[in-house]
Structure 1
Amino acid sequence: MTGMAAAASSTDRPGALEITRRLAEICGPPFARFAGPADEVAGRTARWVAVPGGPHAAAEVLRLAAAHQLTVVPRGAGTKIDWGAAPAQVDIMLDTGRLAGIWHEPQGSPVAEIGAGTPLRAVQATLDRTGQRLPIDAPSPGATLGGVLAADEAGPLRHRHGSPCAQLVGVRYLDADGELVSLDAAGTAPHGRAGPASGGAAALFGAAQVPGLDVARLLCGSQGGLGVLVSATMRVQAVPASRVWVTRPVWTPLEVHDLVRAILAARLDPAAVELDLPVPVLLPRRRVHPDHPSVVHRPGHPSVARRAGEPAAAGSLVVLLEGGPADVAERADRLVAVLGGETVVGHAAPEWWGHYPFGPGDTALRIEVPINDLHAAVYALRDAAGTPVPVRGSAGVGTVHAALPGSLPPDRVASILAAVRGVLLARQGRCVVVAAPAPVRRVVDLWGELPTLPRLRAAKAHLDPHQRLAPGRLPGGL
């Protein structure tokens, strides 16, 4: 039976129409419906879609689900809905689109409370009007803040500012029973209780008093499996007066290793250090005369400028510098001296900046490794795949993404993962399958060895003991 057929038949059971009626009462008739073909989570079709108009309506949806023993999976813009493992069951898809807005933004405040369903682009546009920004640049276009936090999705700015989770000051979320919980650094809870209050919390955090942000940060990367985000209070900062991108062509992963070490040793306070290693494109072997119509006014074209016998650059290493104009200019000059003569300084990001190297249908990998071993991870991936693999990401922190063709058989993907993970294991690194075609996702181990799994299992047992929130989305089938 197909996923859609299963969903359709499941809504015929006794009580289904009553659940539909109650969802319509809670959310309003236009905002509650039976799920359609597009309402899937990693290939698993939902039965109902509910779009509550506020935190209290969302809480009512969760209480209804608890009363009828239904599972709930949150959805923001759906940009990462196919990431990770498929949930065991999706009864109610809770769409956060109406949990949107910047709800608390005093003039000049260093923080802002933002609804989980607010598109990140809208947040940045609103803050920009007052000369502020979130230091978050997640690559998924159209992503909501809640979706970014639920996946802990970071972009180039992670080098200086850390992941989005690191920017959290407070959070409001709904637990599996529909109770609205408010957490901050002090663990206070004006909307409900301060967080997990029973003895199981001490097992998680090793203290009788549970730190609020420790609980809040458990929600980051949990894909809705530990709670439903309602809003997040985030740090904001002034928009930099000046930004420049310093680009250096690179030929080998080992060269990247040496350059990154030199950049960090120079103490230039980069905002980002990004690497792009695309699959090489064969360039013309024959040198073209500079007056030829195909290259006139293009003196930098490889067929004109490249010296005989010199290989084409495999990719680019790009450093973002931010700050005051004079300070940025001075640091850029120093960086050019560090990187060498082929370095270029520009005032616009390269086209690939802030984009993943994978597309729909690819098997997407995330590699995390100490920066001194990043080159070994890239070489291991190339050797295992038997061909160059596109790699892109934050070389300055040792986190990059790679793309394997979606046409690769699942057993071939599994063998590549085993080889890469074997190399990373001795280097305290890991390789995670971010997204993959369904046949691959069903066969391979998406996560690999995960030392934090016991703590995650304890958190799931404590925060969602009845397995109602996105069951199976977390590592270990949690």
Structure 2
Amino acid sequence: MATAARSTDRSGARGIIRQLTEICGPSFARSAGAADDVAGRLARWVAVPGDSSAAAEVLRLAAANDLTVVPRGAGTKIDWGAAPEQVDIMLDTGRLAGIGHQPAGGPVVEIGAGTPLRAAQAVLARTGQRLALDAPSLGATLGGVLAADESGPLRHRHGGPGEQLVGVRYLNADGELTSAGGGTPGLELARLLCGSQGGLGVLVSATLRVQPVPVSRVWVTRPVGSPAEAYDLVRVVLAAPVDPAAVELDLQARANRTRPPRHPDDPEAVARAQHPSMFRRPLPTASVGALTILLEGDPADVSERADGLLGLLGDEATADRSAPAWWGHYPFSPGETALRIEVPATDLRAGAYALRDVAGSPVPIRGSAGHGVLYAALPGSLPAERVASIVTGVRNTLLARRGRCVVVAAPPSVRQAVDLWGELTSLSQLRAAKDYLDPHQRLAPGRLPGGR
């Protein structure tokens, strides 16, 4: 069981590495090194199977010896979530890569779990197609993106990875290969793999929707000085007929300062009179952030929508054919506590101000303002108890607004002091899936909410 200590003596360990070598090949099985950890928990062995059959054999070997297995893609988010109770075999999916055959211009594509997302996008781009996935993690594999339920700015229009999913092939803890979706039952169960951090199954491949690469893209940016001003602007953007592909907010941790009054005939003063709700807060002398809207589509249509948006946002707004430097990047760095705040877009400013007020000072925030998904960074130097009080305070504020705050990644001391997930409505569903797919708690035990 998950709570029982799993051990293998020295002779048994030699037997395990020998069998892993026979399954994966001499160059693809080894004892784990210092860098082979999952959220700080070191693995014992690393196996890199060459196909789904070999991956199934690794899982059957683990089952026969009561060993735990944790899948790993590129490792870009290996420190996200809870540390597993034990990592005996780290199953590296790097060789489970490739793009399946698809008819030219077909609406879906099957991609191996170990395929880097950027590589998949580059191959699809040759036929004028793309995935509506733009995960910020550099080098992330498709399997890693799905396992972490990671999405970027395009989530505004297209939703997260689960909403792009048509079908999957995955291995359960006993090494049984299962297909779900794509014309077979079980897609709802398969979508639970998104965000499960490898705790429900080992993803082999996924079939996702594809779409034409947009001919034209324009980013319209407007400086903002506070969450309230950003909220007012987002309301204006979402109410306008501009059909944004993404609406992203970047707020830095810097105090707000105001400008002196403008002349009544100044264009901005006129805009303030025409759109008072947009300008409730005075604009900063040096803006503390920016709101950027991505427009995609036919060149003439995009140009027309961009002009309309520029007129709405005032003369400080600019349009560019390239994204701002911060676009598609997280506001946190390794060693910091990373928070994910989910709140209805109508309560955007409440979520941002709750974090600022509880923390006692402005906190870097970035994310999809139009979709209500924001990321924030707390300094790694903050004591764990202080982080716990901040997270609790934010959750209490968001609770009444149907929002939530998740600790995405954090230093070890913070992990031990904080409930990473908070209240989770899908907890019973996740537990039922875990008991069904992994009753002996061999796949990433402890990675799921509730210690599963």
TM-score for both structures, normalised by structure 2? 0.92
Does structure 2 retain, via aligned residues, the 8 Å contact 1:11–1:47?
no
Q: CA deviation at 1:282?
A: 9.3
CA distance in 2 between partners of 1:161 and 1:249 (Å)? 26
- The partner residue of 1:370 within 337, 344, 369 is 344
Say if 2:325 is the partner of 1:328.
no
- The partner residue of 2:31 within 34, 41, 44 is 34
Does structure 2 retain, via aligned residues, the 8 Å contact 1:73–1:94?
yes
Secondary structure of the corresponding residue to residue 335 of structure 2: coil
CA distance in 2 between partners of 1:365 and 1:388 (Å)? 14
Deviation by residue 1:43-78 (Cα, 9 ceiling, x = unmatched): 000011000000000000001001111110000000
Cross-structure match for 1:234: 208
Q: CA deviation at 1:281?
A: 7.5
Cross-structure match for 1:387: 361
- The partner residue of 1:184 within 173, 181, 194 is 181
CA distance in 2 between partners of 1:354 and 1:313 (Å)? 20
Does structure 1 retain, via aligned residues, the 8 Å contact 2:199–2:447?
yes
Q: Matches of residues 53-92 of structure 1 in structure 2 within 5 Å?
A: 53-92=50-89
CA distance in 2 between partners of 1:393 and 1:52 (Å)? 36
Q: CA deviation at 1:428?
A: 0.6
- The partner residue of 2:190 within 216, 231, 235 is 216
Q: Matches of residues 457-468 of structure 1 in structure 2 within 5 Å?
A: 457-468=431-442
Secondary structure of the corresponding residue to residue 173 of structure 2: coil
Seen in structure 2, the aligned counterparts of structure 1 residues 465 and 155 have a Cα distance that, compared at 3 Å, is same
Deviation by residue 1:261-298 (Cα, 9 ceiling, x = unmatched): 11111131100000000122899x9xxxxxxxxxxxxx
Does structure 2 retain, via aligned residues, the 8 Å contact 1:104–1:114?
no
CA distance in 2 between partners of 1:422 and 1:109 (Å)? 46
CA distance in 1 between partners of 2:230 and 2:255 (Å)? 19
CA distance in 1 between partners of 2:95 and 2:255 (Å)? 45
Cross-structure match for 2:169: 172
Deviation by residue 1:20-57 (Cα, 9 ceiling, x = unmatched): 11100000011001111100000000011000000000
CA distance in 2 between partners of 1:440 and 1:374 (Å)? 26
Q: Matches of residues 351-366 of structure 1 in structure 2 within 5 Å?
A: 351-366=325-340
CA distance in 1 between partners of 2:384 and 2:171 (Å)? 37
Q: CA deviation at 1:430?
A: 0.2
Say if 2:134 is the partner of 1:137.
yes
Cross-structure match for 2:396: 422
Does structure 2 retain, via aligned residues, the 8 Å contact 1:171–1:229?
yes
- The partner residue of 1:265 within 217, 239, 245 is 239
Say if 2:217 is the partner of 1:243.
yes
Tell me the amino acid that sits aligned with residue 88 of structure 2.
D
Q: CA deviation at 1:309?
A: 10
Does structure 1 retain, via aligned residues, the 8 Å contact 2:224–2:284?
no
Cross-structure match for 1:207: none
Q: CA deviation at 1:454?
A: 1.3
Say if 2:383 is the partner of 1:409.
yes
Q: CA deviation at 1:114?
A: 0.4
CA distance in 2 between partners of 1:219 and 1:382 (Å)? 33
Does structure 2 retain, via aligned residues, the 8 Å contact 1:111–1:236?
yes
- The partner residue of 1:25 within 9, 13, 22 is 22
Q: CA deviation at 1:441?
A: 0.7
Q: CA deviation at 1:323?
A: 0.1
Tell me the amino acid that sits aligned with residue 50 of structure 1.
A
Tell me the amino acid that sits aligned with residue 428 of structure 1.
R
Cross-structure match for 2:319: 345
Cross-structure match for 2:412: 438
Cross-structure match for 2:423: 449
Q: CA deviation at 1:353?
A: 0.2
Secondary structure of the corresponding residue to residue 450 of structure 1: coil
CA distance in 2 between partners of 1:426 and 1:329 (Å)? 40
Cross-structure match for 2:270: none
Cross-structure match for 1:120: 117
Deviation by residue 1:379-409 (Cα, 9 ceiling, x = unmatched): 1111111111000000001100000000000
Does structure 2 retain, via aligned residues, the 8 Å contact 1:74–1:93?
yes
Does structure 1 retain, via aligned residues, the 8 Å contact 2:255–2:362?
no
Secondary structure of the corresponding residue to residue 103 of structure 1: coil
Cross-structure match for 1:201: none
CA distance in 1 between partners of 2:256 and 2:235 (Å)? 29
Does structure 2 retain, via aligned residues, the 8 Å contact 1:185–1:212?
no
Q: CA deviation at 1:215?
A: 1.4
Deviates more, 1:369-378 or 1:333-342: 333-342
Does structure 2 retain, via aligned residues, the 8 Å contact 1:367–1:401?
yes
Cross-structure match for 2:451: 477
Secondary structure of the corresponding residue to residue 127 of structure 1: helix
CA distance in 2 between partners of 1:106 and 1:96 (Å)? 26
Q: CA deviation at 1:186?
A: 2.9
Aligned residue pairs total 426
Q: CA deviation at 1:14?
A: 4.0
Does structure 2 retain, via aligned residues, the 8 Å contact 1:10–1:47?
no
Does structure 2 retain, via aligned residues, the 8 Å contact 1:247–1:343?
yes
CA distance in 2 between partners of 1:348 and 1:309 (Å)? 25
Deviation by residue 1:170-228 (Cα, 9 ceiling, x = unmatched): 110001110111112432xxxxxxxxxxxxxxxxxxxxxxx421011011110000000
Secondary structure of the corresponding residue to residue 393 of structure 2: helix
Secondary structure of the corresponding residue to residue 46 of structure 1: strand
Structure 2 unaligned blocks of 5 or more: 260-281
Does structure 2 retain, via aligned residues, the 8 Å contact 1:43–1:86?
yes
